[in-house]
Amino acid sequence: MSEGSGRSAAEVPSLFRRAGALVIDWLLCVLIAGFFADPVRSGWPPVAVLIFEYAFFIGLFAQTPGMWLTRIRCVSVVDGGRIGVPRAFLRGLLLALVVPPLLMDERRRGAHDRVAGSIVLPVPN
């Protein structure tokens, strides 16, 4: 799969599935952050957990727990393989800024995906 392969919008997951995966991951991060901080008083611990969750799970497995449940994956736009921990960390860091995901192209790649060289796709059957 090359960068210029031009996947159609029908081949990428809906925003509903992507948002669902993010909500599931966010809830898990709030629960985990609750073990070492008070997420109600400080919003940064769950954000930090989310960034590291994305780096670990996307970098090594191409899916977070939320992505696994919603049957989507985040892979390299160039070859369809895993993007690795450093690029997944960068993607998670940019996702935490909230604005990059809102700047999507016709392939639903947010700025965080374009910078990390990734794309979110449905899990093949």
Task: Note the pLDDT tens digit of each residue in 88-104.
Answer: 999 999 988 887 777 88
pLDDT, position 10: 53
Please give the average per-residue pLDDT across 16-44, as a whole number: 91
pLDDT, position 125: 79
pLDDT, position 27: 95
- pLDDT-above-70 percentage for the chain: 92
76: amino acid identity, one letter: S
DSSP helix/strand/coil, 113: helix
DSSP helix/strand/coil, 47: helix
* Predicted TM-score (pTM) of this structure: 0.84
Name the pLDDT band for 85 (thresholds 50, 70, 90).
very high
Name the pLDDT band for 5 (thresholds 50, 70, 90).
very low
Residue 73: CB atoms within 10 A of its CB come to 23
For the stretch 52-81, pLDDT in tens is: 999 999 999 999 999 999 999 999 999 999
Answer whether 108's CB lies under 8 Å from 60's CB. no
Answer whether 50's CB lies under 8 Å from 92's CB. yes
Given a cut of 60, whether residue 9 has pLDDT beyond it is no
